[in-house]
Structure 1
Amino acid sequence: MTQLANLGLYGLGTMGSALALNILDNGFALHVANRSADVTAEFVAEAGDLAAKLTSHASLADMARNMPAPRAIILMVPAGNPVESSIEELCDLLEPGDTIIDAGNTDFHDTRRRTALVEGRGLTFIGMGVSGGEEGARHGPSIMVGGTPQAWAGIRPVIEAIAAKFNGEACADHLGPDGAGHFVKTVHNGIEYADMQMISELYGIMRYGQGMSPAEIGARFESWDTGALQSYLVEITGKVLQAVDSKTGAPAVDVILDRAGQKGTGRWTLIEALRLGQSASAIEAAVAARSWSSEKQTRIDGEAILSGTRTAVDLSEQDYADALLAARIIAYAQGFRLLAAASEEYNWSLDFARISEIWRAGCIIRSALLDDISAAFRGEMPKGQLVFAPAFAERLKATVPALRRVVAAAVLNGHPVPACASALSFIDTLSMARGTTDLIQAQRDFFGMHGFERIDGGAGHHGPWWD
């Protein structure tokens, strides 16, 4: 029988403190430390009654030396050098049977490399994706674990206890070896980028194309937070748009600079999609839109120089709702296609139905669609494509016309919709039996003698321009 590991947590920032309190709340003892001892002392003081199960240490080394074996130490420090140096330090202090858990946002390639390094030293390594922000970390996140089954067994009771629950089932699981957990979390974040961008695009058309106030648009999103569109992001969009700034009395959204930040997971999703030869066009458009948003002065100059104008559109509420549903389905489909490609490339044997199930609560992209996605992966899935599953094919047939109307109206009237347009182009391409890349192949052969396949068989042919 696998012995439950004794838990330690290093890094008491916002997420680390929240996760630590969650662990204590669920009745588990915990050792903690932080780079700054003052932060550790503040955390212990603020833990209140939960401090009875808490043991604080002056440093990571002090914690590792004084914890009883077997030890499992969760790292909640920034990605990059802080993680790297913490792992190096622990490798010199821990013993066989002990586990290091990286629970931050980490490039899965780093996780694969670190797994080999740590396990080469006789220890165990887990890369653990945690989604849900501070609120999720405190009260129940979605947790995606990568590592050996043995390592999972040693921490499973704790992870399942602290995870979000959906109909009583923990939204946490062991998904595969080495970087599997962190890669699934990366793709989760890529889908999150696309969903947020598509929502903001529809907000932009309603606001600047139909003259609706933020509060009116927020009420519309609030009404959508039922049925097929029910989701965390739709829910908070309704609340954000109806909020009022206490200082000015203006809509809260109007006092926020239109320059979006990003921490890298969206870019990681794109890099891997390109490397694996996959299309993640909606995610790519969302990442690009955030990059463009950072060039605020350029956009101010562009509006003046290029005479940027946005004119009125005429779209129904149902058009917007159906367009968002279609675009969201396509973004999920692109994410799962990428997961499938990576699973094959790295021999992870990912369970896509289970992934969709652990995303149903706690995480940022939780939505009503995930139950249907899980059912599709467990049922009839023609050609392995989510958009070909009967339930989703029928939904797309019903909603893509609205997506087409929204994108067309936006383009004709000067409203940028890069993610929605990319989603539409993806589904249009996927539903065209004969496309236009025959011309590209002809061009490649013309200028580079690359050859092409003929429809009547055989590769390596050349066109008559070489006769």
Structure 2
Amino acid sequence: MTQEQQLCDIGFIGLGVMGKNLVLNLADNGFTIAAFDLDNGKVVDAIAQDRLENQAGGNRVVGCSSYTELLSKLKAPHLIVLSVPAGEPVDQVSASLIGAGIQPDDIVIDTGNSLWVDTVAREEKYKNNFILFSSAVSGGEEGARFGPSLMPSGSPYAWTRIKPIWEAIAAKVDSETGKPIERNQPGQVVNTGDPCTAYIGPAGAGHYVKMVHNGIEYADMQIICEAYHVLREGLSLSTDEIADIFEQWNQGPLDSYLMEISVEVLRHKASDDTPLVDLILDKAGQKGTGLWTAVSSLEVGAPAPTIAQAVYARSMSSFKTLREQASHLLTAPDARSYNSDEQQQLINHLHDAIYCAKICAYAQGFQLMKQAEQEHGWKLEFASIAKIWRAGCIIRAVFLQSITEAFERNEELENLILDEFFAQQLSKYQASWRKAIAEITLMGIPVGALSSSLSYYDSMRSSVLPANLLQGQRDYFGAHTFERNDKAKGKKYHVEWSTTERNIVEI
């Protein structure tokens, strides 16, 4: 059999930005790929890019013009990766593969941002046709090309086949320091360090974890954007001055990919030397995963106000015309002035507020996953999840090493803020956090994510909340009953509130 006729290791369907870069990543790591896309131009482009980058020669990427041809060029049992939009396209490709003759022991990996319940349903739907496996991918275009964070879930048997491939292409972190091992050139292969992938659990678990990752990402981005807003509008700093501050912050506990790219965005200039960020319309888009996270938090009863506020902030930004109208009608507080010492003090307070809010956002995300674990009968390894987020993904940060260590100290940790390290950090910086929020509120600058995080912290540290009055109200208008703190747990009581007698009735 000639080289051209040799069967490929992996089939790949969908050669958009993420798909093309995953294919090139697979090729760098020694795998041969049979590639197909409904747009044949993307197949041609992927092959051309591979030949340009492949110094060793040979055909690492083989183009296919149909699903049938794709199957014919693969080693059996077939292993096929999908990089197509979530939703109906996944089912359309699945139907086409069934028509082309896919077999029950073949494996199809959905790498899109599918809603986790859809993944559970699809595994059941296609179980007699092929093995559907899911593996969410995080890291964007760069991560896909040089090492993403991968969150696989589904059939344990399928994972045994996929594991060596996924561990090869995933981002790597130094086993001792927990810091990413850089790989940013075509052809580079990293065979050392901890791979940023690990089996998450049954069908849907990986996509759920990726969903929460994206919810935390929403919160982290919004927290940084609120800090930018305070520095730009409240202190009238230039974009370069703010970039300098962010760059300095990125040397400490706020060291993260999102902080790093924020510096680059702030330094970028248009052709007339105007800061580009000042020319970008302030209407944010979203693809749904942050919303799904907020909705799930409500469904399972795990409070995630920072994540929800981040979703609301994007929604608020979409009402551009309404906000412009309101800005001419609604008054702002009087402008405040600061001397250099006061300005620096506020900048320092803002740094601490970001750090504390970030702790709370991650705490909310991990508690949500813990609630979902109990709700759906999964067994999630939270230290492992934190580990695979240390590199390759959008929320990669030095901060995640501390989260990994927290769950390694206590596998049953209910909430990150109960870990001794994080409890100490919040206690140490809370005064600064409060001063920042108070001052920013007087400025009249919206900081929903920063302030909701503080409310979350204060709620979590309160042994008594005003839900006692709330329960009294509910019982008054709807006879919903209540429990008493001076009686046995589980006993229900009701009051005939409209009478003058003190008649508390046990239900």
What range is the shorter-chain TM-score in?
over 0.9
Q: Which residue of 2 aligns with 1:201?
A: 226
Q: Distance in 1 between matches of 2:302 and 2:422?
A: 20
Post-superposition offset of 1:308: 4.2
**CA distance, structure 1, for counterparts of residue 362 and residue 8 of structure 2:** 36
CA contact (8 A) 2:8 2:32 kept: no
Q: Could you tell me how far 1:382 is from its partner in structure 2?
A: 8.0
Residue type of the alignment partner of 1:465: W
Q: Conserved in 2, the CA contact under 8 Å of 1:219 and 1:242? A: no
Distance 2:245 2:169 in 1: 34
- Structure-2 residue corresponding to 1:33: 36
Q: 1:18 to 1:381 in 2, by over 3 A?
A: closer
- Residue 166 of structure 1 is matched in structure 2 by 173
Alignment match, 1:67: 74
1:272 matches 2:296 = yes
Bigger CA drift: 33-42 or 381-390?
A: 381-390
Alignment check: 8 A CA contact 2:8 2:34 kept: no
CA distance in 1, matches of 2:336, 2:13: 53
Partner of 2:494: 462
Per-residue CA distance 1:350-399 (angstroms, 9 max, x = gap): 00000000000010101111111111111147862210100000000012
Among 56, 65, 80, the residue aligned to 1:58: 65
Q: State the match for 2:317 in structure 1.
A: 293
Normalising by structure 2, we get a TM-score of: 0.88
**Alignment correspondent of 1:108:** 116
In structure 1, the residue matched to 2:276 is 252
1:133-189 per-position Cα deviation (integer Å, ceiling 9, x unaligned): 000000000000011221011111111111000011100111101011111111000
Distance between the aligned counterparts of 2:454 and 2:40, measured in 1?
52
Which residue pairs with 2:92 in the alignment? 85
Deviation at residue 44 of structure 1 after TM alignment: 1.3
Distance 1:381 1:210 in 2: 43
CA 1:283–1:114 in 2, change beyond 3 Å: closer, same or farther? same
**Does residue 23 in structure 1 map to residue 16 in structure 2?**
no
Q: Which residue of the partner structure matches residue 422 of structure 2? A: 392
Alpha-carbon distance in structure 1 between the residues aligned to 2:390 and 2:414: 22
Q: State the alpha-carbon separation in 2 of the partners of residues 68 and 402 from structure 1.
A: 60
Of residues 311-320 and 290-299 in structure 1, the stretch that sits farther from structure 2 once superposed is: 311-320
Number of the residue aligned with 2:188 = none
Q: Which has the larger share of helix?
A: 1
Deviation larger for 400-409 or 268-277? 400-409
TM-aligned CA deviation for residue 312 of structure 1: 3.1
Partner of residue 104 from structure 2, selected from 75, 78, 96: 96
Which shows bigger deviation, 293-302 or 37-46?
A: 37-46
Write the letter of the residue equivalent to 1:252.
Answer: L
Q: Structure 1 residue 229: deviation in Å?
A: 1.2
Aligned partner letter, 1:280: A
Query: Which residue is equivalent to 2:213?
Result: 188
**CA spacing shift, 1:283–1:138, aligned 2, 3 Å:** same
Give the number of the structure whose alpha-carbon radius of gyration is greater: 2
CA gap 1:357/1:143 in 2 versus in 1, 3 angstroms: same
1:363 paired residue number: 393
State the partner residue of 2:51. 48
Q: Percent of aligned positions with the same letter in both sequences? A: 41
Aligned to 2:268: 243
Find the aligned partners of 1:77 and 1:400 in 2 and give their Cα distance. 44
Question: SS state of the match for residue 156, structure 1?
Answer: helix
Query: 401-410 vs 361-370, which deviates more?
Result: 401-410
- 8 Å CA contact 1:209–1:310 kept in 2: the answer is no
Query: Any unmatched runs of 5+ in structure 1?
Result: none
1:269-305 per-residue CA deviation (whole Å, 9 max, x = no partner) reads 1111111011110000000100111111111111012
Asked if 2 retains the 8 angstrom alpha-carbon contact of 1:382 and 1:388, the reply is no
**2:355 aligned partner:** 325
- Which residue is 2:248 aligned to? 223
8 A contact 1:101–1:127 mirrored in 2: yes
Total equivalences in the alignment = 462
Aligned CA distance change for structure 1 residues 181 and 381 (closer, same or farther; 3 Å): closer
Measure the CA separation in 1 of the matches of 2:209 and 2:98.
26
Structure 2: distance between partners of 1:213 and 1:54: 47
Q: For 2:70, give the aligned amino acid.
A: M
- In the TM superposition, residue 89 of structure 1 has moved relative to its aligned partner by 2.1
Structure 1 residue 59: deviation in Å? 2.2
* Counterparts in 2 of 1:91 and 1:272: CA distance versus 1, 3 Å: farther
Q: Which ranges of structure 2 fall in alignment gaps of 5 or more residues?
A: 1-6, 175-192
* Amino acid corresponding to residue 441 of structure 1 in structure 2: Q
Question: How big is each residue's C-alpha offset from its partner over 1:424-450, in whole Å with a ceiling of 9 and x where there is no partner?
Answer: 110000001111000000000000011
Rounded to whole Å, the distance in 2 between the matches of 1:209 and 1:302 is: 19
> Is the 1:75–1:101 contact (alpha carbons within 8 Å) kept by the matching residues of 2?
yes
Q: Is contact 2:78-2:106 (8 Å) kept?
A: yes
Which shifted more, 184-193 or 229-238?
229-238
1:219 maps to amino acid: D
1:305 is matched with 329
Q: Distance in 1 between matches of 2:214 and 2:296?
A: 13
* Alpha-carbon displacement from aligned partner over 1:231-275 (angstroms, at most 9, x marks no partner): 111111122212222x22111211111111111100111111111
Mapped to 2, the partners of 1:244 and 1:299 lie a distance apart of: 27
Check whether the contact 1:191–1:331 (CA below 8 A) recurs between aligned residues. Answer: yes
Q: Would you say the 8 A contact 2:50–2:60 is kept in 1?
A: no
Distance 1:44 1:238 in 2: 34
- Structure 1 distance, partners of 2:333, 2:321, is 17
Bigger shift: 400-409 or 178-187? 400-409
Say whether 1:340 aligns with 2:370: yes
Q: Deviations over 1:332-363 (max 9, x none)?
A: 00000011011111112000000000000010
**One-letter amino acid of the structure 2 residue matched with residue 56 of structure 1:** G
Residue type matched to 2:165 in 1? V
Q: TM-score, normalised by structure 1?
A: 0.95
The alpha carbon displacement at 1:310 in A equals 7.3
- AA paired with 2:297? A
CA contact (8 A) 1:381 1:388 kept: no
